[in-house]
Structure formats: structure tokens, C-alpha cells
């Protein structure tokens, strides 16, 4: 087992800068998710770590080995791709054995490793089958077993669940979490699905436009986004951002005043607040501000409200039995320990 460390990786395709000075460390046995919108450079970073792509600048370490100049096969890395290609003409056993045969492993080692990887993935009773006789989820497990069979120091996965249908994907997510916790392989996993990232990761590296913009535990990234990009990208619906006037060390929302954690130089500040952290009341209460309900969407576990506050729109969630209709005024109380304050010009969190 080993850690992964990249330092100051730069990569340009023609004139397009795909990665701008990315540094990141994945600890031994840690599960890290690279999360970001399409085109932000996730796959490029993974391919550079695997040795399938050369960085213009920067270095890659696996454990204490500088592998920057090494070819892919010398890096002791296994990769599982989006289309998790399993070979249709090979049995499950032979699919899992594929990398070991390439390595010219002894017959004893080959058999032992295939059986161990298959047991870990709970497919030991499928070894004689062909891929066409498997479900999507089983094929997925074959691909992961094949990657683990070569005993990689690190495992790189690029959107391995994206080809599965929604229900299977949900099932495999929990399954994968359990299996990889069991195998304890250091894993770097790429996805643009924020729920998948929250579910699986020990830590999430959020990427935007070729940079890592925040690297922290899932709940930290959710509750304390480093900037408006992270707050907007993670969470569905995204975090609300309200532009508020500043008076001294306080921000004002109508008659409600909120203490700022640090002095603000400009006339305005951005308040970041999650939809579930706005407590709704039908009559005025202390520490609330009024907003008009525009849309009510019953989503099952809660109602999603869209409200207007001046020219700004706000999303808030309320319990499913909350009596509310469009046109009504509600009084919203932001939960004081859940507020995020940001600079309106840079979008970066204060402090
Ligand atoms: P997605 O979630 O859509 O897979 P990603 O974050 O993995 O996106 P990358 O595949 O790393 O993004 O690509 C980053 C940027 O670099 C994209 O704008 C892409 O078009 C560009 N890019 C990637 N590979 C090449 C290449 N070989 N030649 C030119 N441009 C490339």
C-alpha cells in the first residue's frame, strides 16, 4: 500500500491550460474523490498519475518513489475506467487473471490472487461465466476484481459507475464503499456526481478550471465551502447566496441583523446559507426576515420552496406537512451556526 502525491502539475493541450499547478496528497489507504464539472481536468490528472499522459511540469510520487519518469506498467497502479471494458470472449476467471498473466505470475499466485479478488467482490460463484451472462453490477465487480488482483499499490477509478442505471448505481455505490474499505487500497476516484463523492470519500478534492479549489472531508466541504463555486456545485439545490448591506460588524436582512465573524471593508457581504438551514415560520418571529413564496415543489421527504427576497431568489426546504402556498409571505430564520460569509467580489469565504 502507498500514498499518492502530486506536486505542482501543469498540463496544456495546445493553448488550453487543462491543469494549473495542481498539488494533492492521498494518504495510505485513503479514499479520495476528485469532484468537479465536466472539463475541469479530473481525468487528465488521473491519466498523469497513471503515466498515460505526460505533465508539462510537476512531479508524481507513489509512496516514496518518484514515478514521474516511469512508464505506466512500472508504477504499480491499477485503473478502472468508465466503460469498465471486460473481455467478452474470456470467462470471469480469465478476465480477473488478465493483468496477472501479463505480469507472468506463477500459476499458484495467479489462482490465489484471482480467488482472493473474486471473494472480496463476492463473485466467486461466477468465475466460469462469460460477461454476457452477468448483470451490469456483476460486470462492474469483475472490472474492480481484475484491478485488485494485481495487488496494486494504488487504485485509480474514472467514473466507474456512470454506465449503470440509476438504481443499480445507487446499490453499487454502497457496495463499492464496503468493498474498498475491506481491501484498504489507496484509491483516487473521479466523478462529477456530488452525491457519489459525498457518499464515498474520506476526503473530496473539488476541482474547477484546472485547479483544486477545496480539499477536505465531505461534510466540511458541504458545510464550509471555500467559495461560491464549491457552495453552488455541492448540494442540490445549491447553497443560497444573499448579497447584504454591512453596518459596522453586522449584516442586515430587513430588520434582522447578523453578527459578522470578521470586519468587512466593503459596503456589502455575501451570506451563504443552505436551503435546509432556513427555518420557515408563517408569522413573524424574532431573528427572522420576510420572503414571498413563488413556487412550492413537493419532493417527498420535504417541500422545496422558491421564495423572493427583493430581487433575489431563495431556496428553502420545509417538512412535507407544512401548510404553504404560492403568494404567501413566510418568515425565515437562518440557523446562526450554519452561516457562511463570503466576499462578494472574489466569492471567497471570509476568514
Ligand atoms: P469530464 O467529467 O467531462 O470527463 P474532466 O474533468 O475529466 O471532464 P478532462 O478530460 O481532464 O476533464 O479534460 C480537461 C480539459 O482538457 C477539457 O477541456 C478537454 O477538452 C481538454 N483535453 C483533454 N484531453 C485533451 C487532448 N488530448 N487534447 C486536447 N484537449 C484535451
215 & 97 share domain: yes
88 & 124 share domain: yes
3-state secondary structure the chain: CCCEEEEEEEEEECCEEEEEEEEEEECCCCEEEEECCCCCCHHHHHHHHHCCCCCCEEEEEECCEECCCCCHHHHCEEEECCCCCCCCCCCHHHHHHHHHHHCCCCHHHHHHHHHHHHHHCCCHHHCCCCHHHCCHHHHHHHHHHHHHHCCCCEEEEECCCCCCCHHHHHHHHHHHHHHHHHHCCEEEEEECCHHHHHHHCCEEEEEECCEEEEEECHHHHHHCCCEHHHHHHCCCCCCEEEEEEEECCEEEECCEEEECCCCCCCCEEEEEECHHHEEEECCCCCCCEEEEEEEEEECCCCEEEEEEECCEEEEEEECCCCCCCCCCEEEEEECHHHCEEECCCCCEECC
218 & 245 share domain: no
Q: Is the CB of 13 under 6 A from ligand 1?
A: yes
91 & 184 share domain: yes
Mean pLDDT to the nearest integer, 219-232: 96
pLDDT tens for residues 64-77? 999 999 998 889 89
- pTM of the full predicted structure? 0.90
Q: Is pLDDT above 90 for 129?
A: yes
The pLDDT score that the predictor gives to residue 67 is: 96
The pLDDT score that the predictor gives to residue 182 is: 82
Instruction: Please say which residue of 233, 268, 301 terminates a domain.
Output: 233
Is 180 within the bounds of a domain?
yes
Q: Is the CB of 39 under 6 A from ligand 1?
A: yes
pLDDT tens for residues 139-184? 888 998 898 898 888 999 998 887 777 887 888 788 888 888 888 8
Q: Is the CB of 44 under 6 A from ligand 1?
A: yes
Which CATH number does the domain housing residue 229 bear?
Answer: 3.40.50.300
Is 348 within the bounds of a domain?
no
Average pLDDT score, the chain: 93
212 & 116 share domain: yes
Is 349 within the bounds of a domain?
no
Q: Is pLDDT above 70 for 246?
A: yes
203 & 107 share domain: yes
Is 61 within the bounds of a domain?
yes
251 & 204 share domain: no
Instruction: Please say which residue of 218, 233, 248 terminates a domain.
Output: 233
Q: Is the CB of 11 under 6 A from ligand 1?
A: no
Is 347 within the bounds of a domain?
no
Output the residue whose Cα is nearest ligand 1's atom 25: 13
176 & 279 share domain: no
Share of the chain above pLDDT 90, in %: 77
228 & 122 share domain: yes
ipTM comes to 0.93
210 & 289 share domain: no
Mean pLDDT to the nearest integer, 19-30: 96
161 & 272 share domain: no
- Number of folded domains that form the chain: 2
The pLDDT score that the predictor gives to residue 83 is: 67
Q: Is pLDDT above 80 for 351?
A: no
Domain range for 269 is 240-342
Is 96 within the bounds of a domain?
yes
Is 313 within the bounds of a domain?
yes
Q: Is the CB of 121 under 6 A from ligand 1?
A: no
Instruction: Please say which residue of 183, 216, 233 terminates a domain.
Output: 233
Q: Which residue has the higher pLDDT, 239 or 172?
A: 239
Is 351 within the bounds of a domain?
no
31 & 160 share domain: yes
Which CATH number does the domain housing residue 336 bear?
Answer: 2.40.50.140
Ligand 1 center–CA 323 separation, angstroms:
47
pLDDT tens for residues 70-127? 998 889 899 887 766 789 999 999 999 999 998 899 999 999 999 999 988 889 999 9
Ligand 1 center–CA 217 separation, angstroms:
26
Amino acid at each position: 500500500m502507498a500514498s499518492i502525491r502530486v506536486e505542482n502539475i501543469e498540463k496544456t493541450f495546445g493553448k488550453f491550460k487543462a491543469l494549473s499547478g495542481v498539488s494533492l496528497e492521498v494518504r495510505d489507504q485513503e479514499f479520495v474523490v476528485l469532484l468537479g464539472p465536466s472539463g475541469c481536468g479530473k481525468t487528465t490528472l488521473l491519466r498523469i498519475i497513471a503515466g498515460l499522459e505526460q505533465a508539462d511540469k510537476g512531479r508524481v510520487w507513489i509512496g516514496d518513489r518518484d514515478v514521474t519518469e516511469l512508464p505506466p506498467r512500472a508504477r504499480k497502479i491499477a485503473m478502472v475506467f468508465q466503460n469498465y471494458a471486460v473481455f467478452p470472449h474470456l470467462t470471469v476467471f480469465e478476465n480477473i487473471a488478465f493483468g496477472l498473466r501479463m505480469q507472468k505470475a506463477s500459476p499458484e499466485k495467479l489462482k490465489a490472487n484471482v480467488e482472493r479478488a473474486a471473494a472480496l467482490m463476492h463473485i466467486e460463484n461466477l468465475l466460469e461465466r462469460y460477461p454476457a451472462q452477468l448483470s451490469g453490477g456483476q460486470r462492474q465487480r469483475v472490472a474492480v476484481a481484475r484491478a485488485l488482483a494485481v495487488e496494486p499499490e494504488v487504485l485509480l477509478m474514472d467514473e466507474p459507475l456512470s454506465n449503470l442505471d440509476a438504481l443499480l448505481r445507487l446499490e453499487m455505490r454502497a457496495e463499492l464503499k464496503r468493498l474498498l474499505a475491506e481491501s484498504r487500497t489507496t484509491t483516487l476516484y473521479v466523478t462529477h456526481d456530488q452525491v457519489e463523492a459525498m457518499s464515498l470519500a474520506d476526503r473530496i478534492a473539488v476541482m474547477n478550471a484546472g485547479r483544486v479549489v477545496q480539499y477536505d472531508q465531505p461534510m466540511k466541504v458541504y458545510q464550509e465551502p471555500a467559495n461560491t463555486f464549491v457552495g453552488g456545485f455541492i448540494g442540490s439545490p445549491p447553497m443560497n447566496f444573499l448579497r447584504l448591506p454591512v453596518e459596522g460588524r453586522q449584516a442586515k436582512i430587513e430588520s434582522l441583523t447578523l453578527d459578522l465573524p470578521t470586519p468587512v471593508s466593503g459596503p456589502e457581504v455575501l451570506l451563504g446559507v443552505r436551503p435546509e438551514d432556513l427555518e420557515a415560520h408563517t408569522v413573524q418571529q424574532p431573528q427572522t426576515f420576510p420572503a414571498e413564496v413563488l413556487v412550492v415543489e413537493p419532493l417527498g421527504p420535504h417541500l422545496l420552496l422558491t421564495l423572493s427576497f427583493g430581487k433575489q431568489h431563495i431556496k428553502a426546504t420545509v417538512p412535507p406537512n407544512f401548510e404553504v402556498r404560492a403568494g404567501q409571505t413566510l418568515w425565515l430564520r437562518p440557523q446562526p451556526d450554519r452561516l457562511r460569509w463570503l466576499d462578494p467580489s472574489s466569492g471567497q469565504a471570509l476568514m
